[in-house]
Structure 1
Amino acid sequence: MTRTEYWNDPKAPKPNTLIPASNLLVVREDGAILLQRRRDTGQWALPGGVQDIGESPAQCAARECEEETGIIAEVTGLLGVYSPPGHVVAYSDGEIRQAYEVTFIGKPVGGEPTINDEADGVRWVHPRDLDALDIHISMRNQIGDYLSGEYPHME
């Protein structure tokens, strides 16, 4: 399934769903941030995904992190809630979402970076190296909030 993201684009299609999702911004002791390169967009992003019934947002973030990156992480805090109406994600199956992401901060406790069917790249990136990567503005904003210390963010 393909995915197209729109950011404050007046030509974006009108959303038809709002689905809760969680992300996990995992930070190593040396300050490096865990990122994955999404197979569906080719962009680098925080690990995250749709919350399952029966799990909390924090459990979702930790589960998605391990599934998408191979890294087992512990949630240590809340970065924020991100659901700007101008962030629209259109899928090839006809679903068009307004993004709704609860993003947590975490630390690694095990595992090794591992590619999978959702991510064709997983790596630790030092903040000084972020500008060299293709990262969607929504993820850049979340990482920027963390690096600036301006959280929890509520939008």
Structure 2
Amino acid sequence: MGRTEYYYDPKAPKANTLIPASNMLVVNSEAEILLQRRRDTGQWALPGGAQDIGESPAQCAVRECEEETGIIAEVTGFLGVYSNPEHIVAYTDGEIRQQFEVVYIGRPVGGKPTINDEADGVRWVHPNDLGTLDIHPSMHEQIGHYLAGTYPYLG
């Protein structure tokens, strides 16, 4: 399913759904951050996705991290809640979502970076190298709050 992201764009369509999602900001012992390159946008992002019925937001973040990157992570902290009415994601099936992401901080406990049908790249990125990658502004915001130590963010 294709998607188009609108970020502070006055031409964005009006949202028709709000779906809880969780992201996992995983940091390894070298202070590198785990990122995946999304197949649907080509941009680098934290692993994450929609929460399933029957799981907590933290369980969702752990599951999505493993599914999208091959890395098994455990939650070590809470970064914040990100729900920006000016960040809209329109899907080709007609769903138009307002961003809503609960973001956890984690550390790797197993697995290895693995590409899959959602991510065509998975890698550990040193904070000094983040500027060389195409990363959506909403992900930059989340990573920036972590690097600045300004969390939990409850925006």
TM-score bin, normalised by smaller chain? over 0.9
What is the alpha-carbon root mean square deviation over aligned residues?
A: 0.4
Unmatched tracts of structure 2, length 5 or more: none
Give the CA deviation at 1:149. 0.3
Find out whether 1:100 has 2:93 as its counterpart.
no
Residue 11 of structure 1 deviates from its aligned partner by 0.5
Deviation digits for residues 102-125 of structure 1 (CA, Å, limit 9, x no counterpart): 000000000000000000000000
1:26-59 deviations in Å (ceiling 9; x for gaps): 0001100000000000000000000000000000
What is the CA–CA distance in structure 2 between the aligned matches of 1:89 and 1:139, rounded to whole Å?
A: 14
Q: Tell me which amino acid in the other structure corresponds to 2:83.
A: S
What percent identity do the matched residue pairs reach? 77
User: In structure 2, the residue corresponding to 1:135 is in which secondary structure?
Assistant: coil
Tell me how far apart the structure 2 counterparts of residues 147 and 99 of structure 1 sit (CA, whole Å). Answer: 22
What is the alpha-carbon distance in structure 2 between the residues aligned to residue 85 and residue 10 of structure 1? 12
Q: Flag structure 1 segments of 5+ consecutive residues without an equivalent.
A: none
Amino acid at match of 2:141: N
**Equivalent residue number for residue 134 of structure 1:** 134
Q: Tell me the alpha carbon deviations over residues 47-78 of structure 1, each in whole angstroms, 9 at most, x when there is no partner.
A: 00000000000000000000000000000110
Alignment length, in residue pairs? 155
1:85-96 equivalence runs, <5 A: 85-96=85-96
Q: Which residue of 2 aligns with 1:48?
A: 48
Q: Where does residue 33 of structure 2 map in the other structure?
A: 33
